[in-house]
A and B are shown apart, each in its own frame.
Chain A
Amino acid sequence: MQNQEKNPIPVMNDQEDTEKQIERVKLEIDGQPVEIEKGTTILEAARNIGVNIPTLCYLKDINEIGACRVCLVEVEGRKSLPAACIYPVEEGMKVRTNTSRVRKARKKIVEMLLSNHHRECTACIRNLNCELQNVADSLGVRNIEPTGETMRYEIHQNNPAIQRDYNKCIHCRRCESICSKIQECYVYSAQKRGFDTVIAPTFMRDLGDVACIMCGQCVIACPTASLADKENINPVWMALEDPQNHVVVQTAPSIQVTLGEEFGLPVGTKVTGKMVTALRRLGFDQVFATDFAADLTIMEEAYEFVERLEQNKLPFLTSCCPGWIKFCEHFYPQLIPYVSTCKSPMAMFGALCRHYHYQERGIPRERMISVAIMPCTAKKYEAARPEHGDGERPDIDYVLTTRELARMIRQAGIDFANLPDDEFDAPLGTYTGAGTIFGATGGVMEAALRTAWWVMNGGKEMADAPKKRTREQTVEFREIRGQSGLKLTHVMLGGRDIHVAVAHGTGNARRILDAILGGEKIDYVEIMACPGGCVGGGGQPILSGRDHKKLSLDYRHNRADALYEIDYNKHLRNSYENPTIQRIYEEYLGHPGSEVAQKLLHTHYRARGNMPNVRE
């Protein structure tokens, strides 16, 4: 399907230049000689010479615990079969990965895992994209002999975003690792022992009842359907089928660079036009872009930042990511006053849609259904927050993840890859490049800085904005792009030296927030809960499947690059240049931070605890 990702670890060939620094060992895998860095595992060494050892619990650099034993290999001179994912290579080692003893052992292990796994494959949300299914297939499992006791648990789904099905859990602990090591939220841990062991939140509570930020990284990490997004597809179909309804849809910036993956297109393919066509064919009455609301967010946020800068109430923390907001409320409630009061683009869009766009057009309120396609499970939670609605009905009725949209497209029998291109509807589908890069880490910061730079340089009136600006004139902030976990830089704004920081993954966010609490001077912080920003979101296509290399999460680069490419090729690349934004402020909102804007586009947060509710 795609050849862009080559494994980065050097092997065998260029011995001379690295020989001095790094100790290397020679071994033999399946008769092939290998020379590789000392400390490498048998698994990585084998993969480098094209020998594929099956794995289940292994997530490179994140979960290397040898729990599932599917990667067993034979090592000459050793009685037992070691797990290749944790066994380091040794000088003169002779490894065999394909003997009948190895095949038999692996098969038995998978059979035992399957014997205690709720095998409803054809009705499963991960059917055809399940690692357990793939491993069973490639090992040729035909008969599941063990028929012992099986787990019987209810599905835990008392929250708007993520459901946990313990009957499909294989105890690989990948969810626990990603939650503790990358996100540092420590939601999961092994509870109980022996056969009763579950990898569960504290006291085996629902994810909604513990300090979980709903980011969905555990859903991406899960090899089976033990963790999955809560589907909203059916109510959306029902809303679409009623001809009296007026169903509007907004798509987040990152969807246009990831949706194609679900239909076999290479990672990083831009499918904006096809996506719009597909949404029209599904029956949505108007197709809009959240990118537009991102521009609006930037206007509000940039002005709020300039105001806060004048008041000297810093640091200023962005508020676009619902996972990060929940993280802050749970773990850093003392920093809530510093978080921007701007709603996220999705919520701004929802409010604007309800109160501005449709009141004007005379569509009955209850007939207006607002759907959002998001790369994110936390957005499902955000839409259900009581602040985003009138108390009776949420501003956004349904949130679908990228995966759910792909399922709808498949259900409708649409041949996605061969669709013609189409364009977003006006007016709420007009957006600039600044809105698009929201989907990558550093994007919100860059977009905000572009506008803040303009505001600080005298651009007080929006009408002053040049109608067309060539892309070369746009001020770019390339230092804050890219996939390193923490990015720091400083920019001069209005004669002041502004220290900006960008973090993605809430573990990295902790580093910055702890530094701020320790007195570090940081003025402006962008935080995205997921590694890579929205392009690595918990609602994005799961690419584990057959190709294990993709688990290395490298695909975030390709997705982010595609977003920056869209930005670069746009005529309008600054939020204040967006003609719809200019019109909305002229006709309705007045100016950024006005009373109407405060009411519709701003919100408030509240401190939450980081412990589950105690029951006696």
Chain B
Amino acid sequence: MDKIKRYMAANRWDAPHIDTAKLIKDKDKKAKLDQALEEFRDKPGQLVRVLQKAQEIFGYIPEGVQVYVADRMSIPISEVAGVVSFYSTFSTRPKGKYTIGVCLGTTCYVKGAQDIVKALKKELSIDVTETTKDGLFSLTSSRCVGACGMAPVMAINGEIYSRVKAEDVPFILAKYRDRVAEEENFNGQS
């Protein structure tokens, strides 16, 4: 009988009632998302548009936001989660302040893009698709960006770095770290 008791205690299966209105704590962001929902929710096939807005507003789409969107748009949550996990544009984990994209198109690859990725991984101690603990950098790989003449290419928040060598990586990253430190200093003084 102990077995059954243990079983019953160990298995608490449920989908509890969730107050979806309380899912998003940040009021400003919630207001922005509500505005997007207001615009799109009654039109068919607008889920992706709403999710794009959510990605813009929050920087990523956590489970709470997915549930909130599903509830407000009366779309099954399984479908929303399916769409979010399908498109690489959507991220379910917070992205860093700076997103590093290394081009892995054919030319860049031949010109040694893999070495850059390796150097970045070592420098940041993260894997591709991950974000550093301090929330500063996210590492991604991208398809050909159409700048094959400048291969290998890497982009940090849209800033393009061409003909990158593995040994350049620490200096490039240092630039961004310095920039953040400066900003913090500036904020601290004012």
Question: 24 A-B contacts, Cβ less than 8 Å apart?
Answer: A158-B13, A186-B76, A186-B79, A188-B78, A189-B76, A189-B78, A190-B82, A190-B86, A192-B86, A193-B86, A202-B78, A203-B63, A203-B81, A209-B15, A210-B78, A384-B7, A384-B11, A392-B5, A394-B8, A608-B14, A609-B17, A611-B67, A613-B15, A614-B23
A89 at the interface (CB under 8 A from B): no
Which residues of chain B are near A210, meaning CB under 8 Å?
Answer: 15, 78
Chain A residues within 8 Å of B3, by CB:
235
- Which A residues are CB-close (under 8 A) to B13? 158-160, 206, 208-209, 381
CA distance A340 to B37 in the complex (A): 39
The distance in angstroms between the C-alpha atoms of A202 and B80, with both chains bound, is 8
Q: Do the beta carbons of B17 and A189 come within 8 Å of each other?
A: no
> Restricting to A168-212, which residues have a CB under 8 Å from any CB of B?
180, 186-193, 201-203, 206, 208-212
With both beta carbons as reference points, the residue of chain A lying nearest to B87 in the complex is identified as A193
Alpha-carbon distance between A206 and B78 when the two chains are bound, in angstroms: 13
Q: How far apart sit A392 and B88, CA to CA, in the bound complex (Å)?
A: 48
B16, CB-defined interface residue at 8 Å: yes
Q: How far is the CA of A189 from the CA of B76 in the complex (A)?
A: 9
Specify which of B8, B14, B85 is in contact with A192 (CB 8 Å cutoff). B85
A159 CA to B10 CA, complexed, in Å: 10
Q: Is B174 an interface residue (CB 8 A)?
A: no
- Say yes or no: is A134 at the interface (Cβ < 8 Å to chain B): no
Q: How far is the CB of A56 from chain B (nearest CB, A)?
A: 21
Q: Which of A158, A330, A393 contacts B15 (CB 8 A)?
A: A330
- In the bound complex, residues from chain B placing their C-beta under 8 Å from that of A189 are 76, 78-79, 81-82
CB distance from B24 to the nearest CB of A (A): 11
Complex contacts, A613 vs chain B, CB 8 Å: 14-16, 18
Contacts of A397 in B (CB 8 A): 4
Q: Are A191 and B8 in contact (CB under 8 A)?
A: no
A610 lies within 8 A of chain B by Cβ: yes
Contact of B136 with A by CB under 8 A: no
| Bitwise interface map of A from 450 to 488 toward B, beta carbon under 8 Å scored 1, else 0 | 000000000000000000000000000000000000000
Alpha-carbon gap, A608 to B8, bound state (A): 19
CA distance in complex: A206, B18 (Å):
18
B135 contacts across to A, CB distance below 8 A: none
Inter-chain contacts of A310 with B (CB < 8 A): none
Which residue of the partner chain B has the closest CB to A615?
B63
- Bound-complex Cα distance A68 to B11 (A): 35
Q: Which 10 A-B pairs have the closest CB atoms?
A: A208-B13, A186-B76, A189-B78, A189-B82, A609-B17, A159-B13, A211-B15, A202-B81, A192-B85, A614-B63
- A124 an interface residue at 8 Å Cβ cutoff? no
**B157 in contact (CB, < 8 A):** no
Contact mask A578-616 → B, CB, 8 Å, 1/0? 000000000000000000000000000001111111111
A202 touches B8 (CB 8 A): no
Interface contact A611-B81, CB-CB below 8 Å: no
Q: Min CB distance, B9 to chain A, in Å?
A: 10
* B1-40 CB contacts (< 8 Å) to partner A: 1, 3-5, 7-8, 11, 13-18, 20, 23
